[in-house]
Amino acid sequence: MKKLKKLLFPLLMIVAITGFLAYQKISADKNRLPENIIAGNVRLEMGRTDIASLYAGKIEDIFVNEGDEISVGQPLVKLEDTQAAAQLAAAQSAKARAKAALNAQKQKQANADLDLKNAQNLYKDHLVSNSELQKRQIQVKAEKSGIDAARAAVDEANAQMARIENINNDMTLKSPLDGTVEYRLADKGEVVGAGMKIISLLDPTDVSAQIFVPVGRLPEIAVGDDARIAIDGQNAVFPAKVSFIANQAQFTPKYVETKSEREKLMFRVKLVIDKDIALKYKHYLKGGLTATAYISTNQNFPENLAVKLPKE
């Protein structure tokens, strides 16, 4: 009996090892990618827009926090500018003076027109000389020129007010897109310089990834080719398109494949997810998420890479 057990044990071990190796081979064959598929590790990237002020000023208020979802035109930051307020008051005063001067000039022209008309009537009756009539005509022309100058002064005051009002409007920074607040780079009460970034926004419709393709396979792909992005930890496969292929080779970043792969020169290829899909599934698509990207050289994908969007 003991001899039988000694004989059976090695046989069982051989059967177990053979079965394990067979299972590994089947699994490897199942997961092996077809020749038409180019794959690589990627990280999701989102379009970023930095909000900065055109003018220097003190932050009077910030209306959003990091992580807030915002809509286009929504106020984000209000800057305080006492100098602009003083300039606006001065421009309003200048406009009032210019309008008063214009009204006075119009009255002077009306009087000059009346004097000319009277002089013309008297001249017909030979009661005034021709030189007196010419004086009245010259006076009318002078008053008309005065009106043109007064109107120009009013127009200049209006233009100055418009410029200052535009500056005041620019002191309230508004969102140029529907997106998410990524960072607040300054706080209420801080003084910022012209061009300083205050808020950083993410565009949920602008989702992309960069895959690095070896030079030998570059002729097999083109802009517009179909691609797939499978995000780690998610039971989903997102459709994508090749939107850009670099014209110059480069070394790939550290997170791509093995050290031997990183030592090779590769071409950077950008993949983008359709804007409507990215917006609809924005809660699943976050910048920095690791994923695997696949490009098909003949536009055909195996069954396990068929588009599979998350359940809403």
Please state which CATH number belongs to domain 34-47+203-305.
2.40.30.170
> What pLDDT is stored for residue 23 in this prediction?
38
Q: Where are the domains of the chain?
A: 34-47+203-305, 49-80+172-199, 82-170
> What pLDDT is stored for residue 197 in this prediction?
93
Mean pLDDT by 10 residues, the chain (312 residues): 51 50 40 82 93 88 93 92 69 76 73 69 68 70 71 78 79 92 91 91 94 87 93 93 87 57 76 94 91 91 90 71
CATH 2.40.50.100 is right for the domain spanning 49-80+172-199: yes
> What pLDDT is stored for residue 45 in this prediction?
94
> What pLDDT is stored for residue 144 in this prediction?
72
pTM (2 decimals)? 0.63
> What pLDDT is stored for residue 165 in this prediction?
78
User: Any idea what the Cα angle at residue 281 is, between residues 276 and 286, rounded to 5°?
Assistant: 110
